[in-house]
Structure 1
Amino acid sequence: MVDDTAGGRHEDVSGGPLLGHERALLNLAYRLLGSLADAQDAVQEAYTRWYALAAEQRNAIDSPGAWLNTVVSRVCLDLLGSARVRREGYVGEWLPEPLPDSVQWRSGGAEMAADPADRITLDESVDMALLVILDSLTPAERVAFLLHDVFRYPFTEIAEIVGRTPAACRQLASSARRRIKDARPVTASIGERAAVVRSFKRAWEAKDIGALVAILDPSATAVADGGGRVRASVIPIEGGDRIAEFLVGLATRAGVLTLLERTVNGQPGLVALDHGTTAAVYAFDVADHRIQRLWVIRNPEKLGSWR
């Protein structure tokens, strides 16, 4: 469940506070969209619609927070549909926008700090692996699953948002749940992830192909998102040995690597710096003490929160 009580900046023009739902709305919108910028736009659109109502219409709404939640969900559903069309012209692979935390993690587990910009709650529902799987679902599946399983909406309310029957929404959520389980049957603890990612960092800094191959699962996949704005592989790299060779080649070309241990979407990850500027954010999926998937976000438009 996401906290719906955090203070917000918006205030009803009639004089009463608008309950400060902005943080909760942003938590909802980011999970639905996988993009902080789009989530902020969706929340702003909801407030714009609220203030466009006549005073008597606003006064007739018993719960402004519930009304805003519904509007944000519908806006996100529309954006998810249009995003699929927009991404047809996207260069290379599209990945969710990574969320930062302000502290270094430790090998025994991630040391959690305040939310990024005090607005996004970091928990398992923003794990990069889950967001990538969610992006493969239909918009209706994604909305039904998140609203029910993460935010605990009843299917009667989800039906009004999605425009389907409660029974159909139940099926959508069940289908999404099944696909998520099939795609990611096993998850590792934060402590295990931290230990594996730290070993990966040391091996990469040492340009030790053998050590990297030992850390990477033989069937590991590396996906990069440059958005056509910076150099990045436009197709996934398959196989632990190929990924290790690619990484060592990259380190050789780049010269001195500056890798920082940082929490990425609530999990141990890495940040690469180029002359003090964030050049890439690395997120990992770990199982059986090996890296199964590596995601590299290089698109500068998705790294604004890391500068």
Structure 2
Amino acid sequence: MTDPTYPAFPVITLIGFVAVLIPLPWHFQAWNSGTCLYMIWTALSSLVLFVNSVIWQDNAENVAPIWCDISSRFMVGFAVALPAASLCINRRLYLLTSVQSVTITREDKRRAVITDLCIGLGIPVIQMLLPPHPDTALGHRFNIYEGIGCYPFTFNTTLAYPLVVVWPLVIGLISSGYCFLTLRTFLQRRVDFSSITSANSALTVNRYFRLMAIAMTDVVITVPISAVGIYLGLTASVVSPWRGWADAHFDYSKVELVPAVLWRANRLNEVSLELTRWSTPFSAFVFFIFFGFALEARKHYRMMYVVALKAIAHVLPAPLSAAVTRCVRLFH
């Protein structure tokens, strides 16, 4: 069955992969660990989805089992990675807004980065480490959907919800709480806000509001989608009773191959799968909208453009190389 989103999806996903990484260097310099985690997770997910959409564009064969083991486990972690990164951003903004002293030391920054890594990296990694073990809620190895590629399969039993399913919602709700506290504290201390940002050379007023906007956007998306997913899992499909590990993981090595004509025949299943995979390029472009046009990002675009032109000039004939070199000078 022809994929109506091909080649649009891999092209858009690849562009999102590049776009979300462009502002990364100056966020590293600014010690914005939560934002860096958001960019890195989104970029990695975009790359995984790009590869999957190309390899399994017109088939559902198990042609790359090792890649599927890795990518399906990564997707389990990515389900909580963006909410966790948004939690890091909202938590950092709240601490900046509510801090009593405007002096932020290097030690404070180091502790903040360690905490962010524990949340934004530690939680997803723990989730990714669950699938290889038989004591988890994953019913079999993975599924392969034609047009989508490898996909983790979670056995719909009561144990799956506390172990895997509820975590994006839980993290999203905690992040919502920090978001509310940040807004409330900001309104209470808006007179002192300029002194707070001036004490942090890496944080400007515009950057603060862009960070708040991206974190709030992710919360607004994560909470309702996670809640609806849990509701559908509990009501639209059968929740199997827990009969022990042997029953839940019978034939665990099985790989289910699903042609597009089958998974698209179920409208609810189709919407769920498409919504899940399109959320990644959407997140990449939302981030780019908020940060891709900032002054720092434009400087990096110019640097990358100059580097690319110089590389091209080296392989072109002399007349064309001279013309490209003149273009390079215009950007200096």
TM-score, normalisation: structure 1: 0.31
Looking at secondary structure, tell me which structure has more strand per residue: 1
Looking at secondary structure, tell me which structure has more helix per residue: 2
Structure of higher CA gyration radius? 2
TM-score, normalisation: structure 2: 0.29
